[in-house]
C-alpha cells in the first residue's frame, strides 16, 4: 500500500498499519506459492527460471533493493540486526539480519553459486571448488582470493531475511545461502558444499527475475552493476531520482555533486559495455534506453535516418 498523504515521513502507527495491511493482502498469495513450491520435491531453479549458461540471474525484488551496497572497500561492514532494507517499491518489505553485503564481491559470488545450483533439485547439496569459483568470477586463484571467496560464502550463509510483498506473501526467514561448509579442507580434493534455501525459488517464480550476460556484467564497477540491476529489472525503465538510486545503493557519498559524477561515470561504463543502448544522467534523474530503437521507415519503404543497422 502506498502512502497517500504526500508527506515525506510516516508515524510509527501509520507504518505499523501499512505493514499489517500488507501482511493481510499477501496471505492468499503466500498460501498459493507454498502449495506450488511443495508440489514437487524435485523442482529445480532452472525449472522456474531458465537462463543460459552464458548468463546469470537475479530476482527483481533484490535488484531494486539496497541488499547489496556500494561503499568504500576500506569502510568496515555494518552488523545489521533486523534492519529494514531500502526498496524502491513500497509494497515490498525486506528486514535483514547479518553482516552488510556488498555489490563488489558478495553479489557476484551469490549469482555464481545460483549458477552452480540451478539444475539441481532445490535444497539439494551442491559442490564446487574454490578454483572453479575464482575462475568463473574472473578472480586470480591464490590465497588472497580463496580467503575472499570463503568470507563471501560465510557472510551469505549468515543472513536472515523476513520478506513481505503482495506477490509472494510473507517469508519469515530466508537466507541467501542455506548452508555452507568446506569439505576436505587443506587437501587437493577440497570442495565447497552449499545448499540454497528452498524458499528462494519463490522470488524467481512467474518470471520475476532478470538475466544478463555474465562476461560483461561481472566486469562492471559496483555502482554500474547496481545501476544495471535496476535497469534490467524493467522492460522499459522509467527515470529514477539520483537520490533514490543512492538509497538503493546504500551509498554514503559525501555530496550530491560527487554522487552525480559517480553515476555519470557508471552510465558511461554501461554504454561502453553494450549491456544497454543508452544510459544517461539528466538533471536530478538517471535513465536508460535499454535497446536500439527500431529504424524509421520512410514513406517510400526505405529506411529513414535513424540508429538501425
pLDDT at 41 over 60: no
- What confidence category does residue 5 fall into, taking pLDDT thresholds of 50, 70 and 90? very low
Q: Regarding beta strands 278-282 and 285-289, do their DSSP bridges make them parallel or antiparallel, or are they unpaired?
A: antiparallel
The alpha-carbon radius of gyration of the chain (Å, integer) is: 21
pLDDT at residue number 40: 42
User: Nine-digit cell at 135?
Assistant: 575462475
DSSP label at 171?
E
CA–CA dist 300, 289 (Å, integer): 28
CA–CA dist 65, 250 (Å, integer): 9
Instruction: List CB contacts of 104: < 8 A, sequence separation 6 or more.
Output: 70, 73, 222
CA–CA dist 164, 30 (Å, integer): 9
32-46, 56-70, 295-309: the lowest-pLDDT one: 295-309
- Domains in the chain, CATH or no CATH each: 12-214 (no CATH), 220-309 (1.10.10)
CA–CA dist 226, 249 (Å, integer): 7
The predicted model gives 117-132 an average pLDDT of: 95
pLDDT at residue number 12: 67
**Average pLDDT across the chain, whole number:** 87
- What confidence category does residue 202 fall into, taking pLDDT thresholds of 50, 70 and 90? very high
- List beta partners, residue 149: none
User: Nine-digit cell at 218?
Assistant: 561481472
pLDDT at 191 over 60: yes
The predicted model gives 141-157 an average pLDDT of: 96
2-11, 98-107, 156-165, 283-292: the lowest-pLDDT one: 2-11
Angle among Cα 172, 28, 124 to the nearest 5 degrees reads 50
On whether the CB atoms of residues 102 and 68 are closer than 8 A, the answer is yes
The predicted model gives 63-81 an average pLDDT of: 94
The predicted model gives 229-237 an average pLDDT of: 95
pLDDT at residue number 26: 56
Would you tell me how many other CB atoms lie within 10 Å of the CB of residue 103? 23
pLDDT at 230 over 50: yes
- What confidence category does residue 249 fall into, taking pLDDT thresholds of 50, 70 and 90? very high
On whether the CB atoms of residues 61 and 241 are closer than 8 A, the answer is no
pLDDT at residue number 32: 52
164-173 per-residue burial string, b: 16 or more CB within 10 A, e: under 16: bbebbbebee
Amino acid at each position: 500500500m502506498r502512502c497517500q498523504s504526500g508527506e515525506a515521513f510516516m508515524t510509527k502507527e501509520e507504518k505499523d498499519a501499512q505493514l499489517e495491511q500488507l501482511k493481510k493482502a499477501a496471505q492468499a498469495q503466500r498460501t498459493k506459492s507454498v502449495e506450488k513450491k511443495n508440489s514437487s520435491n524435485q523442482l529445480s531453479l532452472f525449472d522456474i527460471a531458465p537462463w543460459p549458461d552464458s548468463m546469470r540471474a537475479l530476482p527483481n525484488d533484490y535488484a531494486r533493493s539496497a541488499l547489496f551496497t556500494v561503499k568504500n572497500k576500506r569502510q568496515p561492514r555494518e552488523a545489521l540486526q533486523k534492519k529494514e532494507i531500502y526498496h524502491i517499491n513500497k509494497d515490498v518489505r525486506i528486514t535483514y539480519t547479518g553482516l552488510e553485503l556488498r555489490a563488489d564481491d558478495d553479489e557476484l559470488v551469490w549469482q555464481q553459486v545460483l549458477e552452480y545450483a540451478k539444475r539441481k533439485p532445490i535444497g539439494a547439496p551442491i559442490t564446487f571448488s574454490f578454483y572453479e569459483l575464482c575462475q568463473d568470477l574472473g578472480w586470480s586463484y591464490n590465497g588472497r582470493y580463496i580467503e575472499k571467496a570463503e568470507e563471501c560464502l560465510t557472510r551469505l550463509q549468515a543472513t536472515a531475511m523476513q520478506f513481505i510483498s503482495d506477490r509472494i506473501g510473507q517469508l519469515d526467514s530466508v537466507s541467501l545461502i542455506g548452508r555452507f561448509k568446506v569439505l576436505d579442507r587443506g587437501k587437493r580434493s577440497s570442495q565447497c558444499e552449499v545448499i540454497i534455501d528452498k524458499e528462494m525459488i519463490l522470488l524467481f517464480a512467474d518470471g520475476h527475475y532478470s538475466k544478463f550476460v555474465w562476461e560483461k556484467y561481472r566486469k562492471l564497477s559496483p555502482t554500474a552493476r547496481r545501476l544495471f540491476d535496476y535497469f534490467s529489472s524493467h522492460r522499459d525503465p522509467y527515470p529514477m531520482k539520483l537520490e533514490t538510486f543512492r538509497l538503493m545503493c546504500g551509498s554514503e557519498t559525501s555530496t550530491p555533486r560527487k554522487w552525480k559524477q559517480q553515476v555519470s561515470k557508471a552510465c558511461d561504463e554501461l554504454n561502453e559495455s553494450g549491456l544497454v543502448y543508452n544510459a544517461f544522467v539528466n538533471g536530478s534523474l538517471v535513465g536508460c534506453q535499454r535497446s536500439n530503437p527500431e529504424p524509421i521507415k520512410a514513406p517510400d519503404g526505405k529506411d529513414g535516418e535513424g540508429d538501425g543497422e
